[in-house]
Amino acid sequence: ISKRGVDIRQRIEKQVTTMLLLQICVECLTTIPLTVQIIYSNITMDIETEVLRLTKENICATITRVLNYINYASRFYIYIIYSIVHKIPVSRGQPTPLPCASKSTDHVPSILIENLIQSSKTQLEQSKTLIDNHHDKIKTHVHVPSD
């Protein structure tokens, strides 16, 4: 492999590493609030709550859910932005091989985006199921004071 090919490969590996680190940061920033909210809800599940407190908790739960959904969309946008800024080949139809790719990694960009899409779909379904189950549990333990 020529020196130019090695330089290109190292540059692309650095760009992909940066992209993955950014995705990890976004994952943490959007997942931790949901985790904290779920833990809080589980701890306070058996406590009778007033309507005002329940409303505040529901607003927090909704905000954390929205943040969690942003997590899935952000993966796609991070990949697209990096593809445009760093000129990683993205094609319509057939995947474009990287200039320095070996035979075993001819379709790295398309495989990467396919894996991101599939994992995002799977995680989204799991999150929706978890949130729905959690809200069903909360509804069964809500106490509305009588006037």
So what's the pLDDT on residue 80?
A: 80
Question: How many CA atoms within 13 Å lie on the side-chain side of 22?
Answer: 14
Q: Could you read off the pLDDT of 69-91 as tens digits, one per residue?
A: 888 888 888 878 777 766 655 55
Whether the Cβ atoms of residue 41 and residue 134 lie closer than 8 Å to each other: yes
Alpha helices (runs of H) in 1-147, residue ranges in sequence order: 3-43, 51-85, 108-140
Q: Could you read off the pLDDT of 4-62 as tens digits, one per residue?
A: 777 878 887 888 888 888 888 998 998 899 999 999 989 988 888 888 988 998 999 99
So what's the pLDDT on residue 125?
A: 79
Whether the Cβ atoms of residue 120 and residue 72 lie closer than 8 Å to each other: yes
**pTM (2 d.p.):** 0.49
- The domain limits of the chain are 3-138
